[in-house]
Copies of this chain bind each other. A is one copy, B any other.
Amino acid sequence: MTKQQLTQHILDKKSYLCVGLDTELCKIPKHLQLSPNAIVNFNKAIIDATKEYCVSYKINTAFYESMGAKGWEMMEETLHHIPDTHFKIADAKRGDIGNTSAQYAKAFFETLPFDAITVAPYMGEDSIRPFLEYENKFTIVLGLTSNKGANDFEMLQTGNHFLYEKVISTIASWGTPNNLMFVVGATQAKQISSIRKIIPDNFLLVPGVGFQGGSLKDVSDAGLNSSIGLLVNASRAIIYASDKENFDSEAAEIAKQYQVEMQDYLTGI
């Protein structure tokens, strides 16, 4: 998917919501847990119920890998159920030396038809370039994350900047807004404005709204740009909205609440 296509989907849906499929067997409704292929059935029901209100799904690879090869199959089956109209993100936080990163890029952009993958920046340019070489695919590099541990290294001072600022400004020069996005945590809304000055045109993927406590209004005020430039992810707040039989309609209801709020923030664009 291209940046232009993604932007058009956002304008059509009046939503920049990404739904995170961090699915765990012990957290899905009890009546589903014992069914064969429970995780995939849950995911498919969530996708069917929420696709009207979101433009993207984010599959967190950890939750599937924890089940081994079978979990990887569930991830594939889930991925193939996501409509082509939706931007498909592998939240995988990969990154290694060049020839290994090339294998990860192959895994998520060729073997699996993801549109984007999250990548860790620590190992530098040759760890990121192989992902950027794919046309109409996006590399989403960790900038400033939403967790407490962000203070340990990302907020270190290097020269006149925080490490995360140096990471973002350096990596921005390796790609373009057409193939490069950044992860910026919603708990860091204050910093989003300053990040926007470094990268006015790149999309930001913002996790941490909902369970992690970030405010959608603050994130939108600081993050939206003239071509939108924002994907806001919510995972647990949506997919675990209810543990009853109506879990899917409840998930849809929460997704719709996000969408309605986003529609407001998009009015001024």
CB-CB under 8 A from A66, the residues of chain B are 103-104, 106-107, 110-111
Is A122's CB under 8 angstroms from B154's CB? yes
A201-224 to B contact mask, C-beta < 8 Å, 1/0: 000000000000000000000000
Is B62's CB under 8 angstroms from A73's CB? no
For the complex, count residues of A whose C-beta is within 8 A of B: 61
Query: Interface of chain A, helix or strand or loop or mixed?
Result: helix
Is B93's CB under 8 angstroms from A96's CB? yes
Distance in Å: Cβ of A160 to nearest Cβ of chain B: 12
A90-128 at interface with B (beta carbon < 8 Å): 91, 93-98, 100-101, 103-104, 106-108, 110-112, 120-128
Q: How many copies does the complex hold?
A: 2
Is A153's CB under 8 angstroms from B96's CB? no
Given A120-B122, A121-B153, A148-B124, A100 and B65 contact (CB-CB distance below 8 Å)? no
Distance in Å: Cβ of A98 to nearest Cβ of chain B: 7
The 5 A-B pairs at the shortest CB distance, nearest first, are namely A124-B149, A124-B152, A62-B103, A65-B107, A97-B147
Which residues of A line the B interface, CB within 8 A?
22, 24, 60, 62-63, 65-73, 75-76, 91, 93-98, 100-101, 103-104, 106-108, 110-112, 120-128, 142, 145-154, 156-159, 163, 166-167, 170
